[in-house]
Amino acid sequence: MIRLENVTKSFRFKRNTRYIVKDVTFTIPRGDSIGLMGRNGAGKSTLLKLIAGTIKPTSGKILRHANVSFPLGFQGSFNGTLTGEQNVRFVARIYGHDTDELVAYVEDFAELGKAYYMPVKSYSSGMKARLAFGVSMGINFDYYLVDEITAVGDMNFRKKCKKVFQEKLSFADIIMVSHGVKSLKEYCGTGIVLEDGKLTYFSSIDDAIEMHNANLARN
């Protein structure tokens, strides 16, 4: 279970304050994969980072009674001066995973070749995404946070990603941000709509998509 208790996340822009979430209390249970929807710029990716713990709320607290991945589309946790392999070793230590096992898994999965042993700052965005996806798939989490990551790489690599991802879903849940309705319906049974700093939960992903589309139609 993940629980947000009176959570606010805001940013100051000159004299204005922008709220991602404002005094939100919300529980994300186990057993349901959730599609997270909202307008462009609503703060969906920021909310995923809050849930992951890679950024802190302005106020309130987030309780995580589960192992939560970092967002699969997020590569900001990598140290650019370290090699891909060194970054993987670092992540393995943080999550208490067998270091050599994870290094070998990611090397095989990410298909980076010699670049695996080169500094991450030399990587393209696609290479960083492969590394991030490989690390996430090499560790068993209760929740996988997904931020538009399913389109990484060529067709064969995408098929491999989809296969291993579906295997993970046999015992884990996902919280997915995607602009693709097809992906949301494929992976998620329930939905959350982020609008004006508030979260609205729907037990049906179709109902969440309907509300999201209605929000978009208003402007």
d(CA 153, CA 175): 22
Within a domain: 157: no
Domain count, the chain: 1
Burial annotation 46-57 (CB, 10 A radius, 16+ → b, else e): bbbbbbbeeeeb
Cβ contacts of 69 within 8 Å, gap of 6 or more: 52, 136, 139, 141, 143, 144, 145
CATH number where 6 lies: 3.40.50.300
What's the average model confidence in pLDDT over 104-122? 95
Within a domain: 32: yes
Q: Determine the pLDDT at residue 150.
A: 52
Per-residue pLDDT of 45-95, as tens digits, reads: 899 999 999 899 999 999 999 999 888 765 567 899 999 999 999 999 988
Within a domain: 103: no
Within a domain: 204: yes
Within a domain: 60: yes
d(CA 38, CA 212): 6
pLDDT at 16 over 60: yes
User: Per-residue confidence at 181, pLDDT binned at 50, 70, 90?
Assistant: confident
Within a domain: 57: yes
Tell me the residue type at 79.
N
What's the average model confidence in pLDDT over 133-160? 80
Residue 40 near residue 24 (C-beta atoms within 8 A) = no
By the 10 Å C-beta count (0-12 exposed, 13-18 middle, 19+ buried), 95 is classed as middle
d(CA 48, CA 132): 15
Q: Which residue range forms the structural domain that includes residue 21?
A: 1-69+144-152+171-219
What's the average model confidence in pLDDT over 5-18? 91
Residue 151 near residue 171 (C-beta atoms within 8 A) = no
Within a domain: 25: yes
Within a domain: 193: yes
